[in-house]
Structure 1
């Protein structure tokens, strides 16, 4: 059944991927109508997240924000599919780096690097940075898809940007193996995802709520001697994004535990408050709260 679903879906996915951008966004507008008005995909979750994180907004403002979010959400989904066939020229025009010299500086230091990332703007196209790494292998940490055929497709998309996907269980063995072999790695950690409550080690403040925070990027970097940076991704206009890197300075082991991760979450919160439509409100980020 999994294979049949893939066989039926793949031609549609490939056709979407080869559409020129004006047509792609026209299709996105139609998908928006289906997702928002007909299916109502995760509307309850989105609205609950708005009430929790953005209580200062009026009901009318939340309604406007909700529509803007779903437009961006559909754009993001189709942009991810576009990754299958996007040209180097197109991706480099549409996703730019304001200070890639920070990454080049980290490479010259000769250590592997972990990059803290949020579900904001275009975290998918951020992978294009791996095409510019010199002597480093790029890795993205992800949750495998149950359908092995679609899981392979997702890996194929990301591999176009020289990025290898690792499941959570594969990260530590991969880091240790790379350390033994002298291979430098660049690891991207999605840090704003909610961990399981039973495995939560650190609870931090996010939008005035005490919630469990993912700390894997910080703690593994300290344990294995990696450098660290934040990726601040912003949406400039429809289909265009930019990324600014923020290097974590100093000896990481001397920085109190969780301060680095908490700092990233504060920076992400500031971005969201400035332009909340570009955050991924469909995931249950606040399902575990202490207060």
Structure 2
């Protein structure tokens, strides 16, 4: 794994690092047995964020019965447990295996936009296995793959997760440096990926739209960056095909040439519609434990 920018962390994290590194070297078939244990602990022992999960599911799928919601919650916990070991496996997975496990059926969508010679924004979400997006993208694109991330407060986990995310060659860009990064690389054919389904707290960063039967706030960064840098935007759909195998399909949201209204949100709206379709197609594969709707729209 690549070394992250070093921040000292206490010695007592070393045994945890050795344990996690050792687990990463196990075959995925064995790690999925570990995931079965994680599932039981989260779903029935700790009941990890159970209230948040059930509330999110009930509000997002009002047409489902309570029995269906409970079943869907269990499916989510099983997916989440498998996701954890898949992320851990990044510490030892080869580029060849990752390319086998993440199939990109239409890379020509990205190649066409990269040929224009400037940056391309790739908008992902917390659906499927989002941690494999940037790592698999680096396998497909080589050194042209960058990812925006929010550094973790804990120095050990910041170091460990950074190495997981960059072991296939991807470069990480701290969220605060996004604008500076685009200015520096504005004439280079590079892909900058962002997870765009976070919950923005500042009013000047919010775009509200109906999403999964709820008024939902989205970050407006993609609209602003695309308008400022005239960079194309693609939506990255990562769908699980079967255990440990995903399809990463690209959808062009903006060509980088059409005029955009200064304060418009057509890119964010298009992103929300694509994501909504993906979630409805595979509802258990979204991150329902995330407090996606913690902010409410203020109506005057």
- TM-score, normalising length from structure 2? 0.90
Deviation at 1:8, TM superposition (A): 2.3
Deviation at 1:4, TM superposition (A): 3.0
Q: Secondary structure at the match of 1:232?
A: strand
8 Å Cα contact 1:175/1:185 also seen in 2:
no
8 Å Cα contact 2:235/2:271 also seen in 1:
yes
CA distance in 1, matches of 2:156, 2:206: 34
8 Å Cα contact 1:209/1:289 also seen in 2:
no
Q: In structure 1, list runs of 5 or more residues that go unmatched.
A: none
8 Å Cα contact 1:2/1:149 also seen in 2:
yes
- The residue aligned with 1:122 is 129
Q: Secondary structure at the match of 2:138?
A: helix
- Determine which of 68, 71, 89 is the counterpart of 1:82: 89
- The residue aligned with 1:247 is 252
- The residue aligned with 1:132 is 140
Deviation at 1:38, TM superposition (A): 1.1
| 2:200 is the counterpart of 1:195 | yes
| 2:238 is the counterpart of 1:230 | no
Please give the root-mean-square deviation of Cα atoms over the aligned residues, in Å. 1.8
CA distance in 1, matches of 2:112, 2:97: 26
| 2:212 is the counterpart of 1:207 | yes
Q: In structure 2, list runs of 5 or more residues that go unmatched.
A: 1-7
Counterparts in 2 of 1:177 and 1:255: CA distance versus 1, 3 Å = closer
Q: Secondary structure at the match of 2:185?
A: helix
Worse overlay, 72-81 or 151-160: 151-160
Deviation at 1:7, TM superposition (A): 1.0
Q: Secondary structure at the match of 2:190?
A: strand
| 2:15 is the counterpart of 1:8 | yes
8 Å Cα contact 2:115/2:189 also seen in 1:
no
- TM-score, normalising length from structure 1? 0.93
- The residue aligned with 1:168 is 175
8 Å Cα contact 2:149/2:175 also seen in 1:
yes
- The residue aligned with 2:161 is 154
CA distance in 2, matches of 1:187, 1:73: 26
Q: Deviations over 1:116-143 (max 9, x none)?
A: 1111101111121122226x53221111
Q: Secondary structure at the match of 2:295?
A: coil
Deviation at 1:253, TM superposition (A): 5.4
Deviation at 1:196, TM superposition (A): 1.0
How many residue pairs get aligned? The number is: 288
8 Å Cα contact 2:113/2:232 also seen in 1:
yes
Deviation at 1:248, TM superposition (A): 2.8
- The residue aligned with 1:280 is 287
